[in-house]
Amino acid sequence: MSKSLEEVFGEASAHIIEPTTFVRAVLSGRRRNMQTDCERIDLRPVSIKGTVQLQLSHSDGRATTTKNIEPDLFTVSELLNSGYAHILVEHIDGSLSIRITKSGEAQVHYESKEFKQSLDHDKKKARLLDSSDPFLLEVGIADHKGSIKPSKNDKYLQVEEFLRLLVPTLEAAISAGQIHKPTDAKPLTIVDLGCGHAYLTFATHQYLRAIGIPVQVTGIDVRTSSRDRNNKIAQNLGISETINFRAEEIASTTAQTADVAIALHACDTATDDAIAWAVSAQSKLMLIAPCCHHDIQRQMNESPEPWGALTKFGLMKERLGDLLTDSLRAQLLRIAGYRVEVIEFIGGEHTPRNMMIRAVKTDAKAEAIDIQRYRDICAQWGITPALEKKLPRLNIG
């Protein structure tokens, strides 16, 4: 449904300032040609000394800062109009999901559903994955007492934060009609590329099912030992009808399509294989957290001046190589018709590989400037990214 911005912001603000029915709101993404102060803002009502205030949590992808304000219409309307492209508002009887298109139109989706309001002030970040869930024991993240093993805590948090980004993106894509509404007859299909011990694969399966999203999940890893171990775990958990594993190279996998492609730390150019697979499989959504980068670094033999001032330091050359790799991947995805964001999905203390490429297929035609920038960067550095070679149909050359 398309409405004027003023109308939808008015409607959303009215829900947000209503102390007895407002549950939460999330502002994320960026409107075309607008800058936002931070990556995401979460709003929720909190009870402080008997009055209901609005708690605003600003997140820049690294840290979250929280402040409480009086819920007034003017401030909330200003906030909604501060450059965010996705606005989700939940109230006790349903939700309102707004997507602002490139042309500045507001597309609104309403859902009737019961949400529970909590005015708890010092709310701890709720865990998505219950540490006593049997799958965490089976995959080796939790021990028999249902406690997360200290050696696996970082992986557990990475998987949780990955899900925290996957779920709202998925819900927004379903609301916007970019992904069909999953049903038992037509579940959401997800492929995890380079799944390894399948912590993320199982977590995605279990969590999405727990929130009522029927799924069919496939994990791909070149190692037969991973496939055998993971299929055995699926059998032990009684879920092998909806999750399965294959021992295959990503580049030659027999998996044909998936609505959603995910990859967490697939090594070096395996990340490029994962992205290329998702593009040719026409995946609607991909969340890819790259791992080590060697491909471009190996090609950075001569720096175009004045970049020699930076690349003469090995450490900086390496970091620049990482940045070039991921920005060229993002650029290629834009050219392939995806809306792309590059975000930090978890604090650097849990993994130095904490960048994520999140892409939603919009089929928007590539802008000439995007192609030109891509070509210019490659020409200046004398590099050809592995991903370009894996996407010959893009015809960049």
Ligand X SMILES: C[S@@+](CC[C@H](N)C(=O)[O-])C[C@H]1O[C@@H](n2cnc3c(N)ncnc32)[C@H](O)[C@@H]1O
CB-CB contact of 9 with 108 (8 Å) = no
* 3-class state of residue 352 by DSSP: coil
Using DSSP's 3-state secondary structure scheme, residue 205 falls into helix
- Give the integer Cα–Cα distance in Å for 22 and 94: 10
Residues in the chain: 397
x/- site string to ligand X, residues 276 to 295, per CB under 6 A?
---------------x----
Q: How far is the CB of 353 from ligand X (least distance, A)?
A: 9
Residue from 249, 302, 367, 376 binding ligand X (CB under 6 A): 249
273 is a site residue for ligand X (CB under 6 A): yes
Report if residue 387 touches ligand X, rule: CB under 6 A.
no
State which of positions 211-230 bind ligand X (CB under 6 A): 220-223, 226
Least distance from ligand X to the Cβ atom of residue 264, Å: 4
Instruction: Output 270 or 346, the one with its CB closest to ligand X.
Output: 270
CB-closest chain residue to ligand X: 196
* Chosen residue from 31, 86, 265, 284 binding ligand X by CB under 6 A: 265
Q: Identify the bridge partners of residue 58 per DSSP, sorted by sequence position.
A: 41, 65
- β-partners of residue 97 are 88, 109
| Stretch (H or E) spanning 350 | none
Q: Is 166 left (phi over 0), alpha (psi -120 to 50) or beta?
A: alpha
**CB 320, min distance to ligand X, A:** 23
- Residue 217: enclosing H or E segment and its boundaries? strand 215-221
Please select the residue that binds ligand X; options are 80, 98, 264, 359, rule is CB under 6 A. 264
Q: Which residues on adjacent β-strands are paired with residue 55?
A: 44, 68
Q: Looking at 17-105, which runs of residues are DSSP E strands? A: 22-28, 40-48, 51-59, 64-69, 86-91, 94-100
Burial of 59 by CB count in 10 Å (0-12 exposed, 13-18 middle, 19+ buried)? middle
CB closer to ligand X out of 174 and 386: 386
Q: How many residues bind ligand X (CB under 6 A)?
A: 20
Question: Which of 119, 176, 267, 323 forms a contact with ligand X (CB under 6 A)?
Answer: 267
Taking the complex as a whole, how short is the minimal distance between the CB of residue 167 and ligand X, in angstroms? 18
Q: Which of residues 180-199 bind ligand X (CB under 6 A)?
A: 194-197, 199
* Residue 333 sits in the site that holds ligand X (CB under 6 A): no
* Contact with ligand X (CB under 6 A) among 80, 96, 270, 386: 270
3-state DSSP assignment of residue 17: coil
Question: Which stretches of the chain bind ligand X, using CB under 6 A?
Answer: 194-197, 199-200, 220-223, 226, 249-250, 264-267, 270, 273, 291
